[in-house]
Amino acid sequence: MEFKYTDPVTDFSDGLVALKAYHEDFLTRGEKLLQLAFELEAKGMNEGYANQCMAMFCHYEHANHLHHQDEELALFPLLVGKSALFDGMIERLMLDHEEIEAAWLALAEQLKNPVGITDFGRLKALAFEFEKMQREHLNREDEDFSPQVKAELSDKQRVEVGHKMAELRHVSV
């Protein structure tokens, strides 16, 4: 079976809408990741679960990095220096990115080699830690950061963010 990353977003005409779509995908996929971890602990590994592990690995391996680049290279530069509030929020979100990436690396070691998973309790703990960090970060962005960003950015800047996101993926808008 071939595993290929498919970007959950195809419309980059408005960067803030595209970022929100990523958030929704991460939240839905996080629930599926936890369900997979619980099922593995209860039933053990089989070919179907191994394929799901590889699909999760493939998706997150690309999506996390791209999404963090979207924010750090396309969105944050438009906001840095606008206010102490934005600067503080961005600093916190970038620290979150580092923590999420570290949690991902530990989980990725398990998911990328499903036949080597022998401690399903450890896998579940790693999945839970990663999903929790990701969910809390996304909630912080959606509830605290995004309303401020929407109020600050012009329509032209939102388009600019979307174009930069598309450029990071080598696609045209």
pLDDT tens string 36-89: 999 999 999 999 999 999 999 999 999 999 999 999 999 999 999 999 999 999
- Would residue 43 count as lying in a domain? yes
- Would residue 8 count as lying in a domain? no
Residue 161, pLDDT > 80, answer yes
Residue with tokens 């929790």: 132
Q: Structurally, how many domains does the chain consist of?
A: 1
- Would residue 6 count as lying in a domain? no
**Inter-axis angle of helices 47-69 and 84-111, to 10 degrees?**
160
**pLDDT at position 112:** 97
Say if CB 93 and CB 36 are below 8 A apart: no
Average confidence (pLDDT) over 164-169: 96
Q: How confident is the model at residue 142 (pLDDT cuts 50, 70, 90)?
A: very high
Comparing CA positions, the residue from 134, 115, 116, 112 lying closest to residue 3 is 112
- Would residue 131 count as lying in a domain? yes
Average confidence (pLDDT) over 97-105: 97
pTM, to two decimals = 0.94
Comparing CA positions, the residue from 72, 112, 114 lying closest to residue 94 is 72
- Would residue 42 count as lying in a domain? yes
**pLDDT at position 1:** 66
- Would residue 10 count as lying in a domain? no
d(CA 10, CA 18): 8
**pLDDT at position 5:** 84
Q: What is the CATH number of the domain that holds 78?
A: 1.20.120.520
- Would residue 173 count as lying in a domain? no
Q: How confident is the model at residue 173 (pLDDT cuts 50, 70, 90)?
A: confident
- Would residue 5 count as lying in a domain? no
Q: Which amino acid is at 3?
A: F
Q: What is the domain range of residue 35?
A: 15-168
Where do the H-state alpha helices sit in 112-154? 120-140, 146-152
Residue 155, pLDDT > 80, answer yes
Say if CB 165 and CB 17 are below 8 A apart: no
Three-state DSSP at 74 gives: helix
How does pLDDT run across 102-136, given as a tens digit for each residue?
999 999 999 999 999 999 999 999 999 999 999 99
